[in-house]
């Protein structure tokens, strides 16, 4: 098959999964990835074609986000024609799915469009009155529509007036890359990774860590960056724990940092799936998360991690201390978490589901 993938190049889960999927599909198919910049996990050596969307530098367009949608549609149309694509897989509804639909109409060919919803593209951006109509239309007109969790499928069907099948294909992680890494220090390491948006509730992590650090010798490692970063740093100073908190920013060796942690915290208000939690589980690191969204599907409370209610730093701290102060429990939870990943969430389990979907829609008239 000749497959095109349209995605965002940033550190969010949709771009990460799209890029990893591109690498894996390229082993068997002709693959073309389209975005406005090289994705963060693309790497220096790639075995597929990368097509950069060039944006016009013009003052009138500086505050007009639709200009990227149009440029992306033009680039996708050009790649459709020149490479005779069978499939365009759009990761994120706005604008990627809409641009893919427009590109297909421009070319007036038989290229099929698959749209994968990752979460905020449907229930945050996509449901906004400014975008809902075009998001809904793009979903309905896609040749196949998938979500990364049962939760997201149910929410999409509830929020949008669409009459079509939505297939659930969960995210995946490479267990050879995300694994346990050796470390020399005895100090416990608590970790978190995100894009530091309000929905991630970074202050809850810091407040919980204050309680944890009062009981045991530990360090908090925060991976990522975003609008909540300055306030988070200020809070660590206010609570007097800044010496034990490390802000790493966006890094490429996430797996090595998470793989050396004792515990991973993800107290989000909402998660359509929880890719960061999956990566920690693959490393054999227990996760304490909130009982929301796709996290409820990913984590079994008391078996491979713990689930708490949103906005309760004290509960987050108590669960964390229970794990960190009990090495046998920490080992058991981490071992069960990695076993779940190996059973259900590896590339070998997930990528064929996408390939089967591609084949199905190519056979449809």
CATH code of residue 228: 3.40.50.2000
* Same domain as 248, residue 229: yes
Please report the pLDDT score of residue 124 as a whole number: 61
Distance of alpha carbon 234 from alpha carbon 349, whole angstroms: 43
Q: What is the DSSP letter of 93?
A: I
Domain-embedded: residue 181: no
Domain that holds residue 146: 2-172+346-363
The answer to whether residues 14 and 155 belong to one domain is: yes
In a shared domain, residues 350 and 287: no
Cβ atoms of 295 and 274 within 8 Å: the answer is: yes
The answer to whether the CB of 188 falls within 8 A of the CB of 173 is: no
> How big, in percent rounded to 5, are the helix, strand and coil portions of the chain?
45, 15, 35
Distance between CA atoms of residues 216 and 190, nearest Å: 11
Flag whether 183 is in a domain. Answer: no
pLDDT of residue 15: 87
Distance from chain centroid for Cα 174: 14
Judgement on whether residues 157 and 26 belong to the same structural domain of the protein: yes
Quote the CA–CA distance of 168 and 209 in Å, as a whole number.
Answer: 35
Tokens matching residue 172: 């995946």
Q: Is residue 96 part of a domain?
A: yes
Residue-level pLDDT at 185: 74
Query: Residue 99's closest CA among 25, 168, 8?
Result: 8
Residues 194 and 327 in one domain: yes
261 shares its domain with 242? yes
Domain match, 245 and 271 both: yes
Q: How far apart are CA 79 and CA 74, in angstroms?
A: 9
DSSP tally for the chain: helices H, then strands E: 14, 13
Residues 163, 19: one domain? yes
Residue 44 belongs to a domain:
yes
Q: In this structure, is residue 192 part of a structural domain?
A: yes
Are the C-beta atoms of 37 and 71 separated by less than 8 Å? no
Predicted structure pTM score: 0.93
Is 32 contained in some domain? yes
Q: What is the pLDDT of residue 208?
A: 98
Claim to verify: residue 236 and residue 91 sit in the same structural domain: no
Say how far apart CA 217 and CA 245 lie, in whole Å: 12
With tokens 């469009």, the residue in question is 113
Closest among 272, 297, 301, 270 to 287, alpha carbons compared: 301
> CA-CA distance, 103 to 97, in Å (whole number)?
10
- Does 221 lie in the same domain as 155? no
| 147 shares its domain with 7 | yes
Strand order in the sheet with 30-35: 49-52, 30-35, 2-6, 87-91, 112-117, 144-147, 167-168
- What is the distance of C-alpha 58 from the center of its chain? 32
Q: Are 95 and 102 in contact (CB under 8 A)?
A: no
Joined together, the tokens standing for residue 158 give 């509830």
The answer on 322 and 351 residing in a single domain is no
Q: CA-CA distance, 129 to 347, in Å (whole number)?
A: 36
Query: Which DSSP state fits 243?
Result: G
3-state SS, residue 3:
strand
Residue 182 belongs to a domain: no
Could you say which DSSP state residue 224 is in?
B
CA 300 to CA 95: how far, in whole Å? 34
Which residue is it, tokens 């589901």? 353
State the DSSP string of 26-83. TTTSEEEEEESS--TT--S--SSEEEE-PPP--GGGTT-THHHHHHHHHHHHHHHHHH
Task: Please check whether residue 251 lies inside any domain of the structure.
Answer: yes
Round to whole Å and give the CA distance between 3 and 30: 6
* Beta-carbon-side half-sphere exposure of residue 153 (alpha carbons within 13 Å): 15
Tally of CB atoms within 10 A around 49: 15
- Report how many domains make up the chain: 2
**Which regions in the chain score pLDDT beneath 70?**
11, 56-66, 121-128, 365
pLDDT tens track for 160-187? 988 889 999 999 999 999 999 988 778 9
């Amino acid at each position: 098959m000749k497959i095109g993938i349209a995605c965002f190049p940033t550190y969010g889960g949709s771009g990460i999964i799209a890029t990893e999927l591109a690498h894996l599909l390229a082993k068997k198919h002709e693959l073309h990835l389209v975005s406005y910049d090289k994705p963060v996990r693309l790497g220096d050596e790639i075995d597929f074609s990368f097509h950069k969307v060039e944006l016009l530098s013009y003052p009138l367009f500086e505050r007009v986000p639709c200009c990227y949608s149009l440029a992306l549609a033009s680039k996708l149309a050009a790649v459709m024609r020149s490479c005779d694509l069978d499939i365009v897989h759009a990761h994120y509804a706005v604008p990627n799915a809409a641009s893919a639909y427009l590109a297909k109409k421009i070319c007036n060919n038989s290229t099929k469009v698959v749209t994968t919803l990752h979460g905020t593209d449907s229930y945050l951006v996509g449901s906004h009155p400014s975008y809902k109509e075009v998001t809904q239309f793009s979903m309905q007109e896609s040749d196949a529509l998938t979500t990364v969790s049962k939760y997201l499928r149910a929410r999409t069907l509830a929020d949008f007036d669409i009459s079509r099948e939505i297939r659930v294909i969960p995210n995946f992680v490479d267990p050879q890359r995300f694994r346990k890494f050796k470390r020399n220090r005895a100090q416990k390491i608590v970790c978190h990774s995100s894009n530091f948006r309000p929905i991630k509730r970074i202050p809850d992590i810091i407040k919980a860590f204050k309680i944890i650090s009062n009981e045991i010798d530990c360090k908090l490692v925060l991976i990522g960056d975003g609008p909540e970063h300055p306030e988070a740093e200020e809070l660590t100073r206010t609570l007097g724990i800044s010496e034990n908190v490390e802000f790493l920013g966006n890094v490429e060796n996430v797996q090595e940092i998470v793989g050396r942690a004792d515990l991973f915290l993800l107290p989000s208000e909402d998660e359509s799936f929880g890719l960061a939690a999956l990566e920690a589980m693959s490393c054999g690191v227990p996760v304490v998360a909130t009982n929301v969204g796709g996290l409820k599907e990913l984590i079994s409370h008391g078996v491979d991690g713990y689930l708490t209610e949103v906005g309760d730093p004290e509960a987050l701290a108590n669960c964390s201390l229970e794990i960190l102060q009990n090495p046998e429990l920490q080992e058991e939870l981490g071992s069960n978490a990695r076993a779940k990943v190996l059973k259900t969430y590896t590339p070998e389990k997930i990528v064929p589901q996408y390939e089967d979907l591609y084949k199905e829609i190519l056979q449809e008239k």
